[in-house]
Structure 1
Amino acid sequence: MIWVALICGLVLYRLVKPFFNDDDSLMDLETSNANALFSVAKRLEKLYRGSRVYVGLQIPDPDSASRQNIDLVLVTDEEAVVISVKNVSGFFSVDKDGNLVCTSGKHHKTELIPNPVAESKQLISILEEYLEQRGVALPEEYLSFKVICPNPNFCSIHPDSFPPEIITRDQWTQFKPEQKKVSSGWFKGAFLGGNKKNQGSFSEKLNSVLSTAPVLDRLEFKGNKYVLGEFLEFKGKRDDIHALREIKRSKVSRLTIQKISMFGFAHSTLQLLYAPRDYRSEGPSWSSQWKELTVNSSTEVVFQPQNSTKVRKYKLSSIVSMSLSA
């Protein structure tokens, strides 16, 4: 009887395991740079009520004939701020050329991060040119830039030597939404550069353009984890792939995994909701009319993460939503 129980338990475990365990590709999500971007973006929106933060913009650059990545763009009623997020850890100092010098490990290994201030500053002109091409001429000094280092293991050596454009971890943790005096003091000075006239009309135009600007494709997982990059294709059974033929960037902007329906342990399906892309709207390019389809939970999303040479496969059952850029 004991052997029968063990065998039955093993069979049951093998059948149930695929439905409750995350696939191996999720192992690296805890340290994903995309998580840091969304964490910073959410905190900025709390610090600036009514603001909007755009993540993973891919702005066309005529000079290089390519798209330049912008981590975040914060838009308030007063200004827009291009923000580069450096999710790095170690002991940091700044050399004479503005590079970040990192010392880490017991062997005091030294690494150099090219001048983040200079890199971020270059993005200003690229974004300004893109906005002008789309009919938004910004006032002088309306667009500024900052570099945020949010990693808990970021330690600044001689913090007074850091340029004001770099927000260190210690500075980043000083501010809370309820501390209005602090937000309107150092934090406002750090991001908004002092007193400026209300530019609400410009922020409205800017939001309209940025909401339809090219961005990285996005996968959202349980536990507020993200991956940014490029969606490639679906993998799975023939019938499921045929059902998913409508899910392509030219037709769909967003896909949501609604729920899992299980029929015994031998079969499990996912209910998917997707929004047909609406090119007539000026805001987010999805319609209010959602469509539904059902596929097997073993179906996979083939995805190329940003700054990675390795293509990943993620099970649809582990994904909360997928957003596709036009």
Structure 2
Amino acid sequence: MWIEVVCGLFLYKVLRRFFYDDAVFDVDTSDFNAIFSVASRLEKLYGGKAFVGLRIPDPDSDSTSASASRVNCDLVLLTREEAVLISVKNMAGFVSVNSDGSWMCRSEHKRREELYPDPVAEANRQASVLEAYIEQRGVSLPQGFLSYKVITSNPKFRTLNPERFQPEVIRHDQWVHLKKESKSVFSGWFKGALRSAKKEVQESTLQQLQFVLSTAPMWDRLELKGSKYVLGQFLEFKGKHEDVQALKVIKRSKVGRMNVQKTSMFGLAPTTVQVLYSFRDYRNGGSSSEWKEMTVRSSTEILFQPQNSKKVCKFKLSTVSSMSLSA
């Protein structure tokens, strides 16, 4: 029996060593995954485009502090009818609203309480900074075109005093029942909760808005195997000298996105990966349609610092699906 147990543990470690990167286990991607999940569902329900991980310059911040000079926006949904700044809260536990608007979250099992600043006030502040940034870049928004909402996406979110939540908050029990509505028909609680009867903006204004949001400062993005996401800052590649030299072409001033594909296997472990990348197209804020490719060792690592973390993590290319770099 002990022989089977030892062999099982050895096999587990071997498989984990070959197919996974320890950093994947060390980084909690749940908050990032929640943002991308909400963005994907909103796009399917209402069309338009969701811009994730914006870092908007804050004109009122201390210019001497780099960390204080940006306002983080989880996502902005842009449609013909409106732009909605969405703050995604992935809280799990029993949540109550205090008299000052702050939220108290008590974990179900750990019996630990955490205090969160007023999420609605934060979203309001983010929307104000975003609107000022858009106008600074030459686009005048129609009155009321930009709004803000807070979505609690975690199924373990429980409310202790739901009557005290502000109308800008879409609680999880409401979020799961959200359905696609026509432009002119609204029903139940959802009327005015996310979208309202607004006139469509002119096509020229919509295109300007799309350009501004697509070229706004954003967090870099890693998509890992298994549809896991990490927002943060790409630092550099680490590995064999020839691989790092080849990958030097991938830098934010030139490349907006790279994809990773397995190309060669030896036994159980991938030995090389194919890296596809496209050069940045500054005319529309995206990347060109022409893809270049190279082959490097799968053990080559991406050094990446997740958002709101001081820790630098290493991700092997064999665990990465794609990486997007902010300009």
Instruction: Give secondary structure in 1 for the equivalent of 2:90.
Output: coil
- Which residue of structure 2 aligns with residue 4 of structure 1? none
- Which residue of structure 1 aligns with residue 37 of structure 2? 39
- Answer yes or no: is the 8 Å Cα contact 2:262–2:270 preserved in 1: no
Instruction: Give secondary structure in 2 for the equivalent of 1:210.
Output: helix
Instruction: Give secondary structure in 1 for the equivalent of 2:144.
Output: coil
Instruction: Give secondary structure in 2 for the equivalent of 1:191.
Output: coil
- Of residues 198, 206, 209 in structure 2, which corresponds to 1:196? 198
Q: Quickly say closer, same or farther: Cα 1:14–1:55, change in 2 above 3 A.
A: closer
Deviations 1:16-45 (A, max 9, x none): 7644x2111112556531101000000101
Deviations 1:101-148 (A, max 9, x none): 112245743321101111111112211111112111101111110011
- Answer yes or no: is the 8 Å Cα contact 2:94–2:108 preserved in 1: no
How far did 1:13 drift? 9.0
Q: Which moved more, 1:68-77 or 1:199-208?
A: 199-208
How far did 1:278 drift? 2.2
* Alignment-mate amino acid for residue 26 of structure 1: V
- Which residue of structure 2 aligns with residue 322 of structure 1? 323
- Which residue of structure 1 aligns with residue 66 of structure 2? none
Distance 1:162 1:75 in 2: 25
Distance 2:168 2:127 in 1: 13
Distance 1:300 1:270 in 2: 12
* Alignment-mate amino acid for residue 38 of structure 2: V
How far did 1:259 drift? 2.4
How far did 1:182 drift? 11
Q: CA RMSD of the aligned region, Å?
A: 2.6
Instruction: Give secondary structure in 1 for the equivalent of 2:43.
Output: helix
- Answer yes or no: is the 8 Å Cα contact 2:96–2:160 preserved in 1: yes
Q: Quickly say closer, same or farther: Cα 1:166–1:182, change in 2 above 3 A.
A: farther
Instruction: Give secondary structure in 2 for the equivalent of 1:190.
Output: coil
Distance 2:97 2:270 in 1: 57
Q: Which moved more, 1:26-35 or 1:262-271?
A: 262-271
- Answer yes or no: is the 8 Å Cα contact 1:78–1:203 preserved in 2: no
Instruction: Give secondary structure in 2 for the equivalent of 1:208.
Output: helix
- Which residue of structure 2 aligns with residue 63 of structure 1? 60
Deviations 1:298-325 (A, max 9, x none): 1000000011111100000010000000
- Which residue of structure 1 aligns with residue 259 of structure 2? 256
Distance 1:153 1:230 in 2: 30
How far did 1:296 drift? 0.5
Distance 1:118 1:172 in 2: 20
- Which residue of structure 2 aligns with residue 136 of structure 1? 139
- Answer yes or no: is the 8 Å Cα contact 1:175–1:182 preserved in 2: no
- Which residue of structure 1 aligns with residue 119 of structure 2? 116
Deviations 1:173-226 (A, max 9, x none): 11134x65998334351112x322222433332112111111100000122110
- Answer yes or no: is the 8 Å Cα contact 1:271–1:293 preserved in 2: yes
TM-score normalised according to structure 1 size? 0.88
- Which residue of structure 2 aligns with residue 86 of structure 1? 89
How far did 1:93 drift? 1.1
Where in structure 2 are the equivalents of 1:233-248 lying within 5 Å? 233-248=236-251
Instruction: Give secondary structure in 2 for the equivalent of 1:250.
Output: coil
Distance 2:311 2:244 in 1: 23
List runs of 5+ in structure 1 lacking aligned partners. Answer: 1-8
TM-score normalised according to structure 2 size? 0.88
| 2:156 is aligned with 1:146 | no
Distance 2:291 2:223 in 1: 19
Distance 2:16 2:168 in 1: 49
Distance 1:80 1:256 in 2: 30
Q: Quickly say closer, same or farther: Cα 1:15–1:119, change in 2 above 3 A.
A: closer
* Alignment-mate amino acid for residue 35 of structure 2: L
Instruction: Give secondary structure in 1 for the equivalent of 2:233.
Output: strand
- Of residues 66, 71, 74 in structure 1, which corresponds to 2:77? 74
Q: Quickly say closer, same or farther: Cα 1:25–1:261, change in 2 above 3 A.
A: same
Q: Quickly say closer, same or farther: Cα 1:112–1:266, change in 2 above 3 A.
A: closer
Where in structure 2 are the equivalents of 1:282-321 lying within 5 Å? 282-284=284-286, 286-321=287-322
* Alignment-mate amino acid for residue 145 of structure 2: Y
Q: Quickly say closer, same or farther: Cα 1:43–1:312, change in 2 above 3 A.
A: same
List runs of 5+ in structure 2 lacking aligned partners. Answer: 1-7, 64-68
Identity %: 57
Q: Which moved more, 1:299-308 or 1:10-19?
A: 10-19
How far did 1:260 drift? 2.6
